[in-house]
Structure 1
Amino acid sequence: MSKPFDKRIQEMNEMYKLPINTTPTLLPDPADKLKKFKATLIDEVNEIDEIIEGIKNGQPDIDTKVAIADLLGDIIVYCRSEALKYGLPLEDVLKIIMDSNESKLGADGKPIYDENGKFLKGPNYWKPEPKIEALLLKHKED
């Protein structure tokens, strides 16, 4: 039986001597840490160009699917590891964000999209940040 993903992320952070926090924490020099995290994500996102080039060059569909899966998986692993460094309850944060996303529906209950397919905000939209703040304050007190 395989271990839960969050446990494996914790073990990975331990193995690579990365910070692990159980309550919301700012790491020393957070601006520098975020700059380095951004660079890592940009490196991953730039792999999209390689995937696009492979598609243009007629690579087999399975190779494209594997490349997309690997790209998305790597980004999720990096984000989950980063959240653990900061002691952020990412699953709870994601729930709030998803609830907020669902509040973006139009007055008719249907999605509103921009030209890139991004969801636009409907009349019942609420910002997730106040609920995320309350969540982090609650976790700090626990």
Structure 2
Amino acid sequence: MKRSFAERIAFMNSMYGLPSNSSPTVPENVQDRLKKFKATLLDEVNEIDDIVKLADDGASKDDIVVAIADLLGDVIVYCRSEALKYGIPLEQVLDVIMDSNESKLGADGKPIYDENGKFLKGPNYWKPEPKIRELLESAASNR
């Protein structure tokens, strides 16, 4: 049976000697770790320029979409691995964020846009941070 993505990330972190925590943790060297993570993500984001160049040079749509898929996949792997280092249950955090995003709809259940097409928050919108805090506090108390 194939392991889940989260299980594979945990195995990868173990294999490469990267931190792995089962509950929310902030390490002593958090500033250094965050700076390194930012540098890694910026390297990935800068690959977008390579993809733009591919498109400018007339690469096939198949080659372009493969490059985009690889870029997006790499970013997700880095983010999921980083979450594990901090003991953050990322899939549950994403559920809270998506629930919050869905609360942005208008009272009629439809998106609300301003005159420039920007998506606005509806009357039932709620910020995700308090629920994320609850989730992380609950995860920490289950140590």
TM-score under structure 2 length normalisation: 0.92
**Which aligned pairs between 1:128-139 and structure 2 lie closer than 5 A?**
128-139=128-139
Per-residue CA shift, 1:98-118, capped at 9, x if unaligned? Answer: 000001112332223579976
User: Which whole-Å CA distance do the structure 2 matches of 1:45 and 1:123 have between them?
Assistant: 34
**Residue by residue, what CA displacement relative to the aligned partner does 1:31-80 show, whole Å, maximum 9, x if unpaired?**
11111101110110111111111111110011001001000000000000
Letter paired with 2:22 = T
| Structure 1 gap ranges (5+) | none
Count of equivalent residues: 142
* Percentage of matched positions with identical amino acids: 68
1:30-69, aligned counterparts within 5 Å? Answer: 30-69=30-69
Alignment of 1:1-142 (within 5 A): 1-113=1-113, 119-142=119-142
Aligned residue identity for 2:87 = G
Alpha-carbon offset, residue 123 of structure 1:
2.0
Distance 1:69 1:59 in 2: 15
Q: Which AA in structure 2 matches 1:135?
A: L
Q: CA RMSD in A?
A: 1.8
How far the C-alpha of 1:86 sits from its partner, in A, is 0.3
CA 1:114/1:60 → structure 2, altered by over 3 Å: closer, same or farther?
A: farther
CA separation of 1:80/1:54 partners in 2, compared to 1, >3 Å: closer, same or farther?
A: same
Counterpart of 1:120, as a letter, is L
Counterpart AA for 1:45:
V
Shift of 1:29: 1.6
Aligned counterparts of 2:116 and 2:48: Cα–Cα separation in 1: 16
